[in-house]
């Protein structure tokens, strides 16, 4: 099967610091990776779509300068939450797919708590 990992699985940081979350496709090459955010008892909300080697496409309302996404290789995408604040505390989930008509495979998620 297709496996997607995320690191770290949870992180606690102080307000104002930056946090980087990694998303890796372990056994396939992912042309596209997606980043989602999920607040407690809510559904998943797509934040951005990233294609390898190009700039990410952000959904409306998502600050691209705050949530920096890099997709430098076909197996790795990173999400950096810059100058994190308590309202950024959430469950961040990435997904990856091989191609346009392919199924997305979800990572295990990263829980971020900003104090």
Partner 1 sequence: ELKVEQNPLFLSMQEGKNYTIYCNYSTTSDRLYWYRQDPGKSLESLFVLLSNGAVKQEGRLMASLDTKARLSTLHITAAVHDLSATYFCVGEDYKLSFGAGTTVTVRA
Mark the segment that binds partner 1 (CB under 8 A) among 16-24, 71-79, 82-90, 97-105. 97-105
Helix (H/G/I), strand (E/B), else coil: 14: coil
The C-alpha atoms of residue 90 and residue 111 are separated, in whole angstroms, by 6
82 or 102: CB nearest partner 1: 102
Interacting residues with partner 1 between 28 and 57 (CB under 8 A): 34, 42-46, 49
53 exposure class (CB count in 10 Å sphere: 0-12, 13-18, 19+): exposed
Is residue 89 near partner 1 by the rule CB under 8 A?
no
Which residues make beta-bridge pairs with 108? none
Q: Which residues bind partner 1 (CB under 8 A)?
A: 34, 42-46, 49, 93, 95, 101, 103-109, 111
């Amino acid at each position: 099967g297709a496996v997607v990992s995320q690191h770290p699985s949870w992180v606690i940081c102080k307000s104002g610091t930056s946090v980087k979350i990694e998303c890796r496709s372990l056994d396939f090459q992912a042309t596209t990776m997606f980043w989602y955010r999920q607040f407690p008892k809510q559904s998943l909300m797509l934040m951005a779509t990233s294609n390898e080697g190009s700039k990410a496409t952000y959904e409306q309302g998502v600050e691209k300068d705050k949530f920096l996404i890099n997709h430098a290789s076909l197996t790795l995408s990173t999400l950096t939450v810059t100058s994190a604040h308590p309202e950024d505390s959430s469950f961040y989930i990435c997904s990856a797919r091989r191609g346009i008509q392919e199924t997305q495979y979800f990572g295990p998620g990263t829980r971020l708590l900003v104090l």
